[in-house]
Amino acid sequence: MPDQTRAELASRLIPMLQEIQEELGYIAPEAVEWLSEHLGVSKQEIFGVATFYNFFRLNPPGRHEIHVCLGTACHVGGGEKLLDTIREKLGIEPGETTPDGRFSLERVACVGACALAPTVVVDGEVHGRMTQRSLKRLLDRIEREDREAMGGK
Ligand code: FES
């Protein structure tokens, strides 16, 4: 596809994909199917646009959304190690959700709290000066609170 056409397609699709994500929390396959039928654009092209822009998620978000900052300050401060900690502990990669639907993981470019680097945002709350140890403790605490909320199960 020529670049111009691809850019035009992206500028048409992005607002629709944003609306879908706001409504459903992610780009559901059924929504891609619907868009494909109504716009006469192949599903592959739609997925191509959705995956090119990393603010679109293709999996349903977990109950707890974890965003690891990999902006410059956080990257230098050890953001990748924090990402590794989550990979090891929860077994998911950025863009994925744990099979039990509890946690989802995303990477972000900068959350505007560089003085606190490295940062991790969990359920909208910024946690600064994170270490692998403090991140593990935070995840353990969330799991414990979840268990307690479910009556100790
Ligand atoms: S780079 Fe992480 S908060 Fe700015």
pLDDT beyond 70 at 123 = yes
Same domain as 120, residue 144:
yes
Q: What is the pTM of this model?
A: 0.77
Kindly report the protein residue whose alpha carbon is nearest to atom 1 of ligand 1: 71
Question: Do 44 and 84 belong together in one domain?
Answer: no
- Looking at the structure, tell me whether residues 78 and 130 fall in a common domain: yes
Q: What is the count of structural domains for the chain?
A: 2
Examine the domain organization and report whether 108 and 86 are in the same domain: yes
With beta carbons less than 8 A apart as the criterion, state whether 85 and 135 touch.
yes
Percent of residues, the chain, with pLDDT higher than 90: 73
For residue 113, name the pLDDT band (cuts at 50, 70, 90): very high
Question: What's the token pair of residue 88?
Answer: 């090891």
Q: What separation in Å is there between the alpha carbon of 102 and the centre of ligand 1?
A: 25
Residue 109 in contact with ligand 1 by CB distance below 6 A = no
Both 69 and 143 in a single domain? yes
- Do 9 and 83 fall into the same domain? no
91 and 23 in one domain? no
pLDDT at 67: 95
Same domain? 72 vs 99 = yes
Contact 46, 33 (CB under 8 A): no
Ligand 1 centre and the CA of 152: distance in Å? Answer: 36
In a shared domain, residues 44 and 68: no
Is 57 inside any structural domain? no
Phi, psi angle pair for 62, to nearest 5°: -80, 175
Ligand 1 centroid distance, CA of 79 (Å): 9
**What gap in Å lies between CA 43 and CA 50, rounded to an integer?**
10
pLDDT band at 150 (very low <50, low <70, confident <90, very high): confident
pLDDT at residue 1, rounded to an integer: 54
**Residues 106, 136: one domain?**
yes
Is 59 within the bounds of a domain?
no
Residue 17 sits in the same domain as residue 70? no
- What is the domain extent for residue 99? 64-149
* Ligand 1 in reach of 110 Cβ (< 6 A): yes
